Chain A
Amino acid sequence: MKLISLHKNYTKLIAKAKKGNRKAQHELFQTFSPKMLSICRQYLKNTDIAEEVMLSGFLKVFTNLDSYKSQGSFEGWIRRIMVNESISQLRREKKLQFNDAAEIENSIEHVAYIETELEANEIQKLIDSLPEGYKTVFVLYALEGYKHSEIAELLQISESTSKSQLFKARKLLQSKIKQNNSSYGTH
């Protein structure tokens, strides 16, 4: 029931926000900004920069509300804008560098198992520790559900590069988690 009423409110709010109603825009911002900041933070280590990127993302959301056709979820639409903004920011910082020379091992479908459940902040730390190229592809693929072809287009790299970056990211993460676990184990 709550979800339904919330959805209805969104439709009304979106319609008002389209006309430039500041109150409606504020309400939408209050509703979605924490999640969107979290998404931006996945790509950007600096929280302040993540917030700036989120704000510029919302500016695009409100100025381009007309292009939102009420098909598909509004949240999904905003998320995509936030992801694009984050990647643009990474590009501006020139941190997106990919080593195409990486070899792709046969164990691409390798599934990693860990023995302990990590908290969000721990996960964020692990992700932050990854090189930008690995991290971006990993977040896009594993967290946002993008396909390699989509990632390749978004980051302007080849699909094979996207796959190799993902593989390396996974491998690195596993080793880091193992390190963490072993360090926990020693306690």
Chain B
Amino acid sequence: MAPIKLEENIREKLQERELQPSSDAWSKLESQLETEDEGSKSKNKLWFAIAASIATLLIVGALVFSPSNQKTSDVVVEDTNTKEQQYNDEVFKENTIVQENNVAEKGIEKEESNNEVLKPNDIPRKSPKSISEEKKVTTQQAVASTETKAIETSTENIKTKETPSFIDTKVTEVVAQVKNSETITAEEVDVLLLKAQREIQAERILNESKTKIDATALLQDVEGELERSFRDKVFEALGENFNSIRTAVIERNN
């Protein structure tokens, strides 16, 4: 018998050898694989959750800190301010209307100083346009008892170009009343002025809701002037005769 290399013999024999595993070997392995799969799935879920939260943080951070977004957020703030302003204006309007009603009820005894207090609230919200259209109706209703006569008044002093005709009409009315009534007193004149002013204010307030223009800013400039210009115009229209008429009336009453 030829000598055989020990290790070669061993290697050949053992490499050819196959040992059949037990019958339940695969099912054991399968169950192990399934638990392994579940573990890896839950791990994957965990990693997904972590990745998602990091991404969310990054996005939120980018939104918060990026300069472009600061701009947009500023815009938003301005919008809300504007809305708040509008809302406040509306509330203010309502208040003003209520105030006016109250004033109208208490009516005639109001002093000029009171009017001056009221005016700043009311005048800012004028809507320039369409006043002339609506004023005619209001004028006829409000001053139904008085005759409307055309009296020349100087409108040069009025800087508000949007509201001249209405104010002019009022001036005309007041002057006409003063001139027509022979028994007019100073208080009555004041009452007439007050009434006319309120009507002008009411007219503007009514019109405001139809415009989108920022009435507050625009008309605040006009505010002081309207008050003066109206009075100025009335007295101007009455002219120097007013004092003499007034004095005469007072003397006669006495």
Contact = CB atoms under 8 A, between A and B. Distances in A.
Interface of A: 20, 22, 25-26, 29-30, 33-35, 37-38, 41-42, 47, 50-51, 54-56, 58-59, 62-63, 111-120, 123-124, 127, 142-143, 170, 173-174, 177
13 contacts: A33-B21, A34-B19, A34-B20, A35-B18, A42-B14, A112-B7, A114-B4, A114-B9, A120-B13, A120-B14, A123-B9, A143-B10, A177-B6
B21 A34 contact: yes
B11 to A, nearest CB: 5
Interface of B: 1, 3-7, 9-11, 13-22, 25-26, 28-30, 32-33, 36-37, 40
Contacts of A25: 33
Given A59-B33, A112-B6, A113-B3, A142 B28 contact: no
Given A33-B25, A55-B29, A116 B20 contact: no
Given A34-B18, A37-B19, A115 B10 contact: no
Contacts of B18: 34-35, 37-38
Contacts of B20: 34, 37
Contacts, number: 95
**Binding site of A, secondary structure by majority: helix, strand, loop or mixed?**
helix
B21 A143 contact: no
A43 B4 CA distance: 24
B7 A55 contact: no
Contacts of A42: 14
A127 B7 CA distance: 11
Nearest to B11: A143
Given A26-B30, A118-B9, A173-B6, 12 more contacts: A50-B19, A54-B21, A54-B25, A55-B21, A63-B33, A115-B4, A117-B4, A120-B16, A123-B9, A123-B10, A142-B11, A177-B6
A26 B10 contact: no
B17 A120 contact: yes
Contacts of B3: 113-115
Given A29-B26, A34-B18, A47-B19, A113 B4 contact: yes
